[in-house]
């Protein structure tokens, strides 16, 4: 790219990002026909939403869908993208890698989608991304695996709305070692996402003078966990747990039953309790334990207007549950990534002057040119820094403690706490 084109790209990117800060009310006040009258075509921008509607990711898929639908509604009310309405085209990937690749194929060859979006589970991302790259279909994942930033994928795969495990655990390790203990046993799912936790937390706690004394991988289809707990070494000072899927409530209950009142310190990733009501019987032992949260489920005393806006748009109460059903608990620590990614797609398309599939490469370049994302209604979880070379975003991390049955933030790790050296430069790859 020439310096003149780089300059134009930077100007257009700044204009797009500035647009994110403008009030949506002005556009929303226009009649519907007027909001889209400037578009070169009346055809909607079609975003293929790869949804975990079934399989072990179903709870996430349901809330990723609700969050995405809310964001798209607001984007359309504010004039859409480049004067065109946005339409989500939803396909169930079954939380399955093979099915995921088939969904990507369908988005590109049958559904006339401009981009693909939404995938959470790392094994599905890894199974789908190669096909997206072959088809040159921009693939905006809302996962947490380190697979994007590690360089194992391709230039068409981007993770601009949620941080990765390597960043998260690097930011958490100092708190764990300084406040909870240095001898850690890890309980994690036995596939790519869990392996990221295993590998990166082991390195991060060792850098803090601690050590992992036990590793207990759990098969992703497991439904009972008590048989694994006797493997926890006696010298364990901290149990680090991260579990996903429909068995999470069983896992946490059985962990409490195994230890009773005499337990080590416990630090969990909220994945182990996403979509689970903390008031569920059997979870009383969690009082005083700690969790990483990507976004605090419970509205905090210093709640921002951006968080209020986000909750209201989706229909979520101050406890992180549906306003229509207090038992319908959201996947609040992760689903903001869908909202923020959709606004990044909007910013990228506006910066690129995106008009259709012929502009997909320009879209990737425009997103790569984004550097900062201010804390705003578009980025309610917090300010972000995006690394265009590695296609990975960095943001704040939250550590919460269970106090009187609610998660209260006790530590916020800065963006810088989670940064690490580049492992790839996707911008050197051909588009």
**How far apart are the C-alpha atoms of 201 and 207, rounded to whole Å?**
10
Do 142 and 200 belong to one domain?
no
Do 374 and 250 belong to one domain?
no
Do 101 and 46 belong to one domain?
yes
**How far apart are the C-alpha atoms of 271 and 269, rounded to whole Å?**
5
Do 194 and 130 belong to one domain?
no
Do 130 and 29 belong to one domain?
yes
* In-domain check, residue 430: no
Do 215 and 81 belong to one domain?
no
The pLDDT score that the predictor gives to residue 40 is 62
* In-domain check, residue 299: no
Do 125 and 158 belong to one domain?
yes
* In-domain check, residue 279: yes
* In-domain check, residue 317: no
What's the sign of the alpha-carbon dihedral 381, 387, 392, 396? negative
* In-domain check, residue 243: yes
The pLDDT score that the predictor gives to residue 220 is 81
3-state SS of the chain is: CCHHHHHHHHHHHHHHHHHHHCCHHHHHCCCHHHHCCCCCCCCCEEEEEEECCCCCCHHHHHHHHHHHHHHHHHHHHCCCECCECEEEEEEECCCCHHHHHHHHHHHHHCCCCCEEECCCCHHHHHHHHHHHHHHCCCEECCCCCCCCCCCCCCCCEEECCCCCHHHHHHHHHHHHHHHCCCEEEEEEECCHHHHHHHHHHHHHHHHCCCEEEEEEEECCCCCCCHHHHHHCCCCCCEEEECCCCCCHHHHHHHHHHHHCCCCCEEEEEHHHHCCCCCCCCCCHHHCCCEEEECCCCCCCCCCCHHHHHHHHHHCECCCCEECCEEEEECCHHHHHHHHHHHHHHHHHHHHHCCCCHHHHHHHHHHHHCCCEECCCCCCCCCCEEEECCCCEEECCEEEEEEECCEEEEEEEECCHHHCCCCCCCHHHCCC
pLDDT of the chain along its 431 residues, tens only? 444 444 444 444 444 444 444 444 444 444 444 444 455 667 999 999 999 999 989 999 999 999 999 999 999 999 999 999 999 999 999 999 999 999 999 999 999 999 999 999 989 999 999 999 999 999 999 999 899 999 999 999 999 999 999 999 999 999 999 999 999 999 999 988 899 999 999 999 999 999 999 999 999 888 899 999 999 999 999 999 998 877 888 999 999 999 988 899 999 999 889 999 999 888 898 999 999 999 999 999 999 999 999 999 999 999 999 999 999 999 999 999 999 999 999 999 999 999 999 999 999 999 999 999 999 999 999 999 999 999 999 999 999 999 999 999 999 999 999 999 999 999 999 99
**How far apart are the C-alpha atoms of 396 and 295, rounded to whole Å?**
9
Do 254 and 339 belong to one domain?
no
* In-domain check, residue 352: yes
The pLDDT score that the predictor gives to residue 395 is 98
**How far apart are the C-alpha atoms of 339 and 331, rounded to whole Å?**
13
Q: How many CB atoms lie under 10 A from the CB of residue 402?
A: 21
- CA distances 51 to 119, 131, 241, Å, are 7, 17, 26
Do 148 and 195 belong to one domain?
no
Nearest partner of 63 among 301, 298, 310, judged by Cα: 310
* In-domain check, residue 389: yes
Do 159 and 175 belong to one domain?
no
* In-domain check, residue 424: no
Do 192 and 140 belong to one domain?
no
Domain range enclosing 86: 3-163+333-395
Which residues are bridge partners to 413 per DSSP? Answer: 397
The pLDDT score that the predictor gives to residue 42 is 78
Do 341 and 272 belong to one domain?
no
Q: How many domains does the chain have?
A: 2
CATH number where 277 lies: 3.40.50.2300
Q: How many CB atoms lie under 10 A from the CB of residue 333?
A: 26
């Amino acid at each position: 790219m020439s310096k003149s084109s780089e300059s134009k790209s930077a100007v257009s990117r700044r204009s797009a990002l500035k647009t994110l800060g403008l009030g949506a009310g002005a556009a929303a006040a226009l009649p519907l026909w007027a909001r889209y009258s400037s578009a070169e075509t009346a055809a909607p921008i079609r975003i293929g939403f790869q949804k975990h509607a079934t399989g072990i990711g179903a709870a996430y898929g349901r809330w990723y869908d609700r969050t995405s639908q809310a964001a798209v509604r607001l984007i359309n009310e504010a004039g859409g993208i480049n004067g065109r309405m946005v339409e989500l085209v939803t396909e169930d990937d079954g939380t399955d890698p093979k099915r995921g690749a088939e969904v990507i194929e369908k988005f590109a060859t049958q559904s006339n989608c401009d981009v693909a979006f939404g995938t959470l589970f790392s094994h599905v991302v890894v199974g789908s991304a190669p096909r997206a790259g072959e088809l040159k279909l921009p693939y905006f994942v809302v996962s947490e695996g380190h697979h994007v930033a590690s360089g194992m994928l391709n230039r068409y795969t981007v993770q601009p709305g949620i941080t990765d495990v390597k960043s998260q655990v690097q930011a958490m390790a100092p708190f764990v070692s300084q406040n909870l203990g240095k001898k850690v046993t890890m309980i994690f799912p036995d596939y790519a996402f869990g392996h990221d936790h295993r590998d990166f937390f082991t390195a991060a706690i060792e850098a803090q003078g601690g050590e992992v004394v036990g590793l207990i991988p759990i098969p992703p289809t497991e439904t009972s966990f008590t048989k694994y707990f006797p493997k926890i070494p006696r010298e364990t000072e901290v149990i680090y747990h991260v579990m996903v899927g429909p068995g999470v409530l069983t896992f946490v209950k059985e962990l409490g039953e195994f230890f009773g009142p005499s337990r080590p310190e416990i630090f969990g990733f909220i994945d182990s309790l996403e979509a689970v009501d903390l008031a569920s019987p059997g979870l009383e032992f969690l009082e005083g334990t700690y969790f990483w949260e990507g976004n605090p489920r419970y509205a905090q005393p210093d709640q921002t207007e951006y968080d209020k806006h986000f909750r209201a748009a989706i229909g979520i109460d101050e406890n992180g549950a549906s306003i229509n059903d207090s038992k319908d608990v959201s996947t609040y620590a992760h689903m903001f990534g869908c909202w923020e990614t959709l606004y990044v797609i909007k910013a990228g398309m506006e910066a690129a002057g995106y008009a259709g599939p012929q502009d997909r490469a320009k879209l990737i370049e425009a997103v790569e040119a984004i550097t900062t994302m201010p804390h705003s209604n578009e980025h309610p979880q917090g300010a972000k820094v995006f690394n265009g070379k590695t296609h990975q975003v960095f943001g704040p991390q939250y550590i919460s403690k269970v106090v009187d049955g609610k998660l209260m933030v006790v530590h916020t790790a800065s963006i810088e706490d989670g940064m690490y050296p580049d492992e790839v430069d996707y911008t050197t790859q051909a588009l």
